[in-house]
Amino acid sequence: MHLIYAAATEAAPESTNEDHAAGGDGWALVLDGAGRYPGRSGGCIHPVAWVVERLGTRLGSHLTQWPEQPLTAIVRSAVEATMADHGPTCDLSDPLSPGATAAVVRLRDGLLEWLVIGDCAVVVDQGEGGITSVIDDRVDHLPDAPVVEGRVRTYSPDYVATVRNRPGGFWVLGAVPAAAEHALTGSLPLHAITQVLLCTDGISRLTERYEWSWADVLALSEANGPEALIRAVRNAERDDPNPQRWRGKRHDDATVVVLRVSQVNA
Ligand SMILES: [Zn+2]
């Protein structure tokens, strides 16, 4: 039994891609850069894409080096290593320091294990057994969250500073190792799984904004590959009659990884 990996990623038009996708022997991940807020440094001199790339590299190498470690321990160690990479130029105690949301899956002991934190998603297709979606939507259920109406509707940075990486708020990876223990984790037997999809919220907006089902998403990627999902998102965004109604940008970086589970031994 093994996993066949396919991925696609695309920056929002006219911007730098702050998403990241990777896969190795029995694992895969996606990351989505979180922060930074206009006018705020977040205590860090590094671009968000740098933080995302460091986290992705550390996660990939730790997943490969330590296959017996729990996923939470691997994620914690990757955050700690990334924090060390910043060096003395950065004050990582700033609650708005740049980081990333993440979805990680791994094949171990006949199970597919996942870890999801922030607004990335893992979607598990069990064929006749249905679809299991794992989405960390705590950021959408914050108490008394003020939405600021600007060019982009968003939460006010002062408010985010009080709920980011705090109990009762929401968690992202980057500057707080304990965030790993607040991720959503779980597993399912691999033998019943036909495919697994990991994506950033630039893709999951098909379901959140544009009324797609996860079955629709899986069917399109199965028929035409992961790139087709990015084209579908861009079409939906372009045709959106009122993108101002959403919290967040009209276009976002969009990244998707699809793992097809081959029940034949490689
Ligand atoms: Zn930094």
Ligand 1 centroid to Cα of residue 265, in Å, is 44
Neighbours of 225 (CB within 10 A): 15
Ligand 1 centroid to Cα of residue 178, in Å, is 19
Peptide bond preceding 36 in cis form (omega within 30 of 0): yes
Q: What is the Cα–Cα distance from 226 to 151, expressed in whole angstroms? A: 30
Q: pLDDT value at position 171? A: 97
Ligand 1 centroid to Cα of residue 21, in Å, is 21
Q: What is the Cα–Cα distance from 66 to 69, expressed in whole angstroms? A: 6
Ligand 1 centroid to Cα of residue 45, in Å, is 5
Ligand 1 centroid to Cα of residue 31, in Å, is 17
Ligand 1 centroid to Cα of residue 90, in Å, is 5
How many domains does one find in the chain?
Answer: 1
Q: pLDDT value at position 265? A: 58
Q: pLDDT value at position 88? A: 94
Question: Which structural domain, as residue segments, surrounds residue 148?
Answer: 2-262
Ligand 1 centroid to Cα of residue 89, in Å, is 7
Ligand 1 centroid to Cα of residue 4, in Å, is 35
- Chain centroid to CA 172: how far? 10
Residue 212 one-letter amino acid: W
Q: What is the Cα–Cα distance from 18 to 4, expressed in whole angstroms? A: 25
Ligand 1 centroid to Cα of residue 134, in Å, is 30
Ligand 1 centroid to Cα of residue 243, in Å, is 32
Please report, in tens digits, the pLDDT of each residue of the chain (266 residues total): 788 999 999 999 999 999 999 999 999 999 999 977 877 889 999 999 999 999 999 999 999 999 999 999 999 999 999 999 999 999 999 999 999 999 999 999 999 999 999 999 999 999 999 999 999 999 988 988 888 887 788 888 899 999 999 999 999 999 999 999 999 999 999 999 999 999 999 999 999 999 999 999 999 999 999 999 999 999 999 999 998 889 888 999 999 999 999 877 54
Q: pLDDT value at position 174? A: 96
Ligand 1 centroid to Cα of residue 171, in Å, is 18
Ligand 1 centroid to Cα of residue 49, in Å, is 11
Q: pLDDT value at position 25? A: 92
Find tokens 């980011």 and name the residue. Answer: 164
Ligand 1 centroid to Cα of residue 33, in Å, is 13
Ligand 1 centroid to Cα of residue 118, in Å, is 20
Ligand 1 centroid to Cα of residue 186, in Å, is 31
CATH code of the domain in which 207 resides: 3.60.40.10
Ligand 1 centroid to Cα of residue 103, in Å, is 22
Residue 197 gets which letter from DSSP?
Answer: E
Find tokens 């793992």 and name the residue. Answer: 259
Q: What is the Cα–Cα distance from 25 to 106, expressed in whole angstroms? A: 9
Ligand 1 centroid to Cα of residue 83, in Å, is 8
